Amino acid sequence: MLVRFGALKQQARRLLYTVPLSCHISSDATTAGGREGSGAEWTDDILYLDESGGVICSGRGLRATEPGLDSHVMVGDLRKPLSPTAAAAKIVEIARRWRWGPDLHSHLDRLPFTPSPSHLHLALAHLSDPESSLSLLRWARRQPWFSPSDDSYSVILDRLHSAGDIDSVLSLFDEIVSDANMTEGKTAFPSALNRAIQYLALGGRMEVSFHCFKKLRELSFNEFTTQTYNSLITLFLSKGLPYKAFEIYEAMEASGCPLDSSTYDLMIPALARSGRLDAALRLFQDSKSRSAARPGFPIYSALVDSMGKAGRLDAAVGLYREMLASGYKPSVTMYVSMIESLVKAGKLDAGLGLWDEMKAGGFRPNFGLYTMMIEAQARCGRLDLAATLFADMEKAGFLPTPSTYASLIEMHSAAGQVDPAMRLYNSMIKTGLRPGLNTYTSLLTVLATKKLLDLAAKVLLEMKAGGFAVDVNASDMLMIYIKEGSNDLALRWLRFMGSAGIRTNNFIIRQLFESCMKAALYESARPLLETYVNSAAKVDLILYTSILAHLVRCQDEKNERAIMDIMSVTKHKAHWFMCGLFTGTEQRKKPVLSFVREFFQEIDYEMEESAARYFVNVLLNYLVLMGQMNRARCVWKVAYENKLFPKAIVFDQHIAWSLDVRNLSVGAALVAVVHTLHRFRKRMLYYGVVPRRIKLVTGSMLKMVVAQMLASVESPFEVSKVVLRAPGDSILEWFKKPIVQQFLLNEIPSKSDVLMHKLNVLFPSSAPEVRSLSPPKPVLSR
């Protein structure tokens, strides 16, 4: 057999490790004698040749000794010991040649020596291929001499991690756990198990690494290292699961594992950002007491930011000053966070101080910080400072946002500063930004308040061109003029709305109509009422009664005709009732009492009861002024029959009879007194019932009017603060006088000057602005 080698002598040294296992053994090989025992030998010599083909030397080959002598080999006829390095080198050579699979295992099974665990560890240490290392370990696990080693497992795990083979790391972890002998929480492979979990975590296998961690904890393994805990915490924090990281940290604390600087750097910011500020502060103080090194800047940054956002500004400022004392320079992010926290808490002066400190440190405020600072100053009414910052923002090259413009415009508008607000509005339009609805509303409100109709009309048309619905805003401006009593401006604005095709709602039309009626602008009020009626709006009894009240108070014949014309425009059934009430019986074809009863039967008392009381009060005023006492008494009688004034007359048997007119108008009170005294007279004279006393409860406003009317016929009533009272016997004698009978029957008007005395001034219930029924809710026209 020929074996060719290089000419270099150092290559000859490898002859010892070149085992010609594949050489042919002759069939006539004899049994080696003497020292060789029963071992096989070669009958042919092995010739070792150089590169040119010359013979270097010859001799008998390398072969195994007898079984059991695992650390010796036969070199020729000599039995020589095999060094661990040589054995490991042979194993490495085979592993590199065959790498994995049955070929590798078959060649390893034919080694001329029996390996030991030390040989395996040396071989694994020299193998760089993770696949070969893992295959070699799998072969060794089936050998009877195999003894698991923490160092061997660790070496293979390092190789697998370097190659990024996470699946093999997981499978090897399971094998290590099966080989481990857990006794009282301790195992022979703590380093390997920790490495496996660390590498699984570094590989991003969150579920797998946590499962392995829980599995070891269930097996009472308590030799986790700080690095293992840190790797799991880092993994969960990177996956956005801080509360799972806190669970790992709590297990770390419970196990007594020491914390290192990496643990502090991980946990303190995580606790702070998750809102567990007290726990973060405790860990921060613990890090300062245990570690000689100062806390890192990320820790200070996270604590300051979280404390500020949580509103704990004193603690945030204290940590900020401590950080400065430690030699750290604040970042622009920290400045922004601190300024935002102070400004949002309303501490604008402190925020401005940090703002100046930030600019002095060479940092440039960003767009968001400018925006927030300007809007905060504007909201607090510091408009001059906000304008200064706004100018600085433009000089810095930042284009203000619509919200910044809106904040400044709204604040200037709220302060009544029209010129700055309009300048900002025009600037906003020129930059191509679109104002919002609130911006337009605030601007139109201040323009309406300042009575700048032309400018308001221009802004409103621009708002309409921008796609906004302007009906509500225009109506709101109209209501501002109505509430102020500026009827001329309101009418001008209404005409502008009509020319621009902007509609308003019927409620506002009604309010403007009533305002014009109150200001005696009847020529302007009539078209408004026509618009109101033609838009299918309901003219209720309250609206008609308010017009009638103006007629009662009117003293000019021309205005009376205008008001009557307006009353006819309403087309309300009460107007036809008024017209019929003043006609003769031949035209009505029924008596007055029947005519009045028929009208009051058509009233919906559930909806219009208070409106009917208001109508009766004003109508009775009008009838008394017109001298129509019989018609007035019919109206009062029917109103009392329909229980519009249920507590006006009270009969306390034979003790006291009383009439309460405090809630009536002057005319209604006078009619009620005359009609009720007539009833009392009939009851006393016809039925012989005489009470002890009779009371007329008038209140302070009607006391003198009623007293003067009764004094004209020498009544026995005594006037007190709010009541007119007299004994029943005196009233009976008074009723027997013919003049009293004639007065109560109203055949001859008595003391008409008393009835006519300043009725338009003493009509509290007939004034249009006094209502007992709330106005209808506005219906916006879209």
The backbone torsions φ and ψ at residue 56, rounded to the nearest 5 degrees and listed phi first, read -80, -55
Residue 9, token pair as written in the block? 């002598």
> Taking CA 40 as the corner, what is the angle to CA 38 and CA 45, rounded to the nearest 5 degrees?
135
Q: Choose among 14, 85, 118, 83: nearest CA to 73.
A: 83
Q: Choose among 672, 669, 689: nearest CA to 735.
A: 689
Beta bridge pairs of residue 607: none
Rounded Cα gap, residues 359 and 366, in angstroms: 11
Under DSSP, the state recorded for 4 is E
Q: What is the pLDDT of residue 89?
A: 72
| Contact between 514 and 728 (Cβ < 8 Å) | no
Task: Tell me the residue type at 551.
Answer: L
Q: What is the pLDDT of residue 780?
A: 33
CB atoms within 10 A of CB 354: 21
Helix (H) or strand (E) holding 712: none
Under DSSP, the state recorded for 728 is H
Q: C-alpha dihedral over 605, 610, 615, 617, to 10 degrees? A: 130
Rounded Cα gap, residues 407 and 418, in angstroms: 14
DSSP characters over 78-93: EEEE--HHHHHHHHHH
Q: Over the stretch 474-505, which tens digit does the pLDDT of each residue have?
A: 999 899 999 988 889 999 999 999 898 888 88
CB atoms within 10 A of CB 245: 23
Residue 772, token pair as written in the block? 């007992």
| Contact between 776 and 507 (Cβ < 8 Å) | yes
CB atoms within 10 A of CB 82: 20
The backbone torsions φ and ψ at residue 459, rounded to the nearest 5 degrees and listed phi first, read -65, -40
Helix (H) or strand (E) holding 293: none
| Contact between 249 and 218 (Cβ < 8 Å) | no
Residue 416, token pair as written in the block? 């009544």
The residue whose two tokens read 């700055």 is: 420
Q: What is the pLDDT of residue 527?
A: 92
pTM above 0.85, yes or no: no
Residue 446, token pair as written in the block? 């201040």
Sign of CA pseudo-dihedral 438, 441, 445, 446: positive
| Contact between 592 and 584 (Cβ < 8 Å) | no
Helix (H, G, I), strand (E, B) or coil at 639: helix
Regions of the chain with pLDDT less than 50: 1-43, 65, 67-70, 184, 747-782
Sign of CA pseudo-dihedral 621, 626, 631, 633: positive
Rounded Cα gap, residues 161 and 153, in angstroms: 12
Q: Which residues contact 692 (CB under 8 A, 6 or more apart)?
A: 654, 655, 656, 727, 728
Q: Choose among 685, 687, 657, 686: nearest CA to 673.
A: 657
Q: What is the pLDDT of residue 491?
A: 92
Q: C-alpha dihedral over 725, 729, 734, 738, to 10 degrees? A: 150
> Taking CA 389 as the corner, what is the angle to CA 383 and CA 395, rounded to the nearest 5 degrees?
140
Q: What is the pLDDT of residue 100?
A: 65
Rounded Cα gap, residues 728 and 719, in angstroms: 16
Task: Tell me the residue type at 768.
Answer: P
Rounded Cα gap, residues 513 and 569, in angstroms: 13
- Secondary structure in 3-state letters for 245-279: HHHHHHHHHHHCCCCCHHHHHHHHHHHHHCCCHHH
Q: Over the stretch 543-570, which tens digit does the pLDDT of each residue have?
A: 999 999 999 888 888 888 899 999 989 8
| Contact between 701 and 762 (Cβ < 8 Å) | yes
Q: Choose among 245, 232, 314: nearest CA to 273.
A: 245
| Contact between 619 and 548 (Cβ < 8 Å) | yes
Rounded Cα gap, residues 748 and 674, in angstroms: 13
